[in-house]
Amino acid sequence: MKQKVKIELYNDHFENAKRYGIPHAQLIIADIPYNLGNNAYASNPSWYIDGDNKNGESKLAGKSFFDTDNDFKINNFFDFCTRYLKKEPKEKGQAPAMIVFCAFEQMQMVIEEAKKHGLNRSYPLVFIKNYSASVLKANMKIVGATEYAIVLYRDKLPKFNNGKTETQKGKMIFNWFEWKRDNSREYPKIHPTQKPVTVLKRLIEIFTDEGDVVIDPVAGSASTLRACVELNRNCYGFEIKKDFYKKAKEKMISEDILNGILEDGQVTFDAII
């Protein structure tokens, strides 16, 4: 039987992490607020009742995704991340990394803020969809069908798994990835900006090994934690909104669900807060 995997999800702000005594991470993944404000649903059918403008505006019209977005402080976020990211190792190929999902317009801001906290190097990732949420603009302009993220690290290149072994050459990994929707029967839709578990698993595989620690400071649906458990990575997440936290525990990372995926007794559930 494989080693046990530890999973913890806290209904708390990441700034309160000290009280939980979590370990340092090989990888931190975060989907920060895109600062869309009251325009969050602007070109999405959800703006209208049943997705049809003939029915008038829905309760989502003119609303932001979350009432906590305005409270997000990027400086505090990076303070947390650099405090809980593993220290730079002496050996090559073992350095930790961060992956931050953000809007295209935020990328330079994230890079500059990261530098202030010692994350001096970075490179972008692009995720290509075969659909767009901007359907209301489809007859007006080219619609967006991409997502973006930035890989951040201090100085040494992070751990990198591309299949290379002593006897086998590794494969090139391009800086763009397919963004495929999750099967809703397997991975429930809990959060409006939920990232696909399949996409997260690919990133986790590249930058970590089994048994490594991954932290998601803004866990949302806990899709990052679900991806980690399926890959035998230890994982810790923080979600301040009680509704998302409860749904994540019930629908994404419940004991019954994970026992149905993994060997019985392989996951420690007593740590789920």
pLDDT of amino acid 257: 85
Could you please state the CATH topology (level 3) that the domain comprising 5-32+72-268 is classified under: Rossmann fold (3.40.50)
Q: How are beta strands 234-238 and 5-10 bridged, if at all? A: parallel
Task: Provide block-wise average pLDDT over 10 residues at a time, the chain (273 residues).
Answer: 83 95 97 62 55 66 56 90 96 96 94 97 97 82 93 97 92 96 92 94 98 97 96 96 95 87 62 48
The answer to whether the CB of 228 falls within 8 A of the CB of 5 is yes
Domain spans, the chain: 5-32+72-268, 38-66
pLDDT of amino acid 264: 59
For residue 20, give every residue at least 6 positions away whose Cβ sits within 8 Å of its Cβ, in sequence order, or none.
Answer: 8, 10, 12, 236, 273
Model pTM score: 0.86
Provide the β-strand partners of residue 124: 150
Element (H, E) at 152: strand 146-153
pLDDT of amino acid 139: 85
